[in-house]
């Protein structure tokens, strides 16, 4: 015990502010890595790799197995080289978040409050009526990130947002009902847009099976941009919202309007996300929801 305390005091005597900063930096890197991999299939792969490495270390250190130790020692470098291939989608998603990162300090952008209020009410009214009729719908609300690539994949409309227009677009078996509608400001920019599907395992672990391609596309779009994705289920009529790779389900019209109002803040100011909010969106979204 005395020797342990002496070693502990010896370590504390050598710690300075640079050592503390070094430890905090490494901790932040591991926290960001693990947080970005949460709720993804990569987390299961990571757990498997950690168990494999721990098992190899225990076997090679506790038991004298020369041949097995040689194989384990020479296979670990190859395993490290395989990490970029195994985690390619997660690495790409993180780099995209870095590329879209905003400012370090919070910034507000002036917006037209009256037009936004009318747009939000039109979207909520359309979602409620689509839900009552069980007409499937997928609506993407553009925020700060540019969605030109997704817009080009659909049919250009550039029409003012009205409940009747959205109801007509998503009426079953019409030419534009497949795909997603992208709304920028107060205009329906395009319809029948092809959207990216989510690569996370959130929907696969859901106990319910009513979530199909529309929900995967909503999550995928929210993972690759800061947009808000609104989904109306064709099977149940349930209204859901996806943002930053997270989904809120079974929303009523009043709660839907409150959430959209909170995101777009139609009071003259819109919040521009900071660097950390872009890099770790789920963490800051969860804090905002608690307020």
Pick the last residue of a domain from 37, 65, 99: 99
pLDDT at residue number 203: 60
pLDDT at residue number 269: 45
CATH code at 124?
A: 3.40.1700.10
- Give the domain range for residue 261: 107-290
Q: Are 123 and 89 in the same domain?
A: no
pLDDT at residue number 92: 66
Q: Are 141 and 196 in the same domain?
A: yes
The rounded radius of gyration (Å) of the Cα atoms in the chain is 24
pLDDT at residue number 151: 93
pLDDT at residue number 194: 93
pLDDT at residue number 62: 75
Q: Are 263 and 120 in the same domain?
A: yes
Q: Give pLDDT tens digits for 93-138.
A: 666 666 655 544 444 444 446 788 899 999 999 999 999 999 999 9
Pick the last residue of a domain from 52, 79, 99: 99
Count of domains observed in the chain? 2
Q: Are 150 and 245 in the same domain?
A: yes
Pick the last residue of a domain from 46, 68, 99: 99
pLDDT at residue number 268: 41
**Percent of the chain, pLDDT > 90?**
30
Q: Are 29 and 9 in the same domain?
A: yes
Task: Count other Cβ atoms within 10 Å, centred on residue 123.
Answer: 23
Q: Are 68 and 133 in the same domain?
A: no
Q: Are 154 and 20 in the same domain?
A: no
pLDDT at residue number 105: 45
Q: Are 132 and 208 in the same domain?
A: yes
Q: Are 262 and 157 in the same domain?
A: yes
Q: Are 186 and 276 in the same domain?
A: yes
Q: Are 60 and 156 in the same domain?
A: no
Q: Are 46 and 143 in the same domain?
A: no
Q: Give pLDDT tens digits for 246-280.
A: 889 889 999 999 999 988 874 444 445 554 555 45
pLDDT tens for the chain, residues 1 to 291: 677 677 767 777 777 888 888 888 888 887 877 776 665 556 666 777 778 778 877 777 777 778 877 877 777 777 777 767 766 666 666 666 666 555 444 444 444 467 888 999 999 999 999 999 999 999 999 988 888 889 999 999 999 999 999 999 999 989 898 899 999 989 999 999 999 888 666 665 555 555 688 998 998 898 888 899 999 999 889 999 998 888 898 899 999 999 999 888 744 444 455 545 554 555 444 444 444
pLDDT at residue number 289: 46
pLDDT at residue number 122: 95
């Amino acid at each position: 015990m005395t020797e342990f305390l002496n070693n502990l005091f010896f370590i504390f005597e050598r710690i300075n502010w640079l050592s503390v900063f070094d430890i905090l930096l490494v901790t932040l890197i591991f926290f960001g890595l693990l947080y970005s991999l949460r709720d993804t299939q990569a987390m299961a792969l990571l757990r498997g790799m950690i168990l494999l490495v721990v098992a190899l270390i225990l076997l090679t250190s506790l038991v004298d197995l020369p041949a097995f130790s040689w194989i384990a020692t020479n296979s670990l470098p190859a395993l490290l080289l395989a990490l970029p291939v195994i985690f390619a989608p997660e690495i790409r998603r993180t780099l995209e978040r870095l590329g879209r990162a905003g400012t370090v300090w919070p910034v507000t952008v002036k917006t037209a409050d009256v037009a936004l209020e009318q747009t939000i009410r039109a979207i909520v009214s359309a979602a409620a009526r689509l839900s009552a009729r069980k007409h499937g719908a997928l609506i993407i609300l553009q925020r700060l990130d540019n969605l030109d690539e997704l817009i080009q994949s659909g049919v250009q409309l550039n029409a003012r947002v009205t409940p009747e227009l959205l109801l007509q677009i998503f009426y079953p078996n019409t030419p534009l009902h497949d795909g997603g509608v992208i709304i920028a400001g107060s205009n329906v920019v395009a319809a029948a847009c092809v959207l990216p599907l989510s690569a996370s395992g959130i929907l696969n672990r859901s106990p319910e099976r009513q979530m199909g391609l529309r929900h995967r596309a909503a999550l995928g779009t929210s993972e690759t941009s800061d947009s808000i994705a609104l989904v109306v289920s064709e099977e149940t009529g349930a209204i859901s919202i996806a943002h930053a790779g997270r989904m809120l389900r079974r929303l009523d019209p009043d709660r839907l309007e409150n959430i959209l109002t909170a995101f777009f803040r139609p009071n003259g100011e819109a919040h521009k996300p900071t660097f950390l909010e872009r890099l770790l969106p789920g963490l800051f979204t969860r804090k905002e929801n608690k307020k």
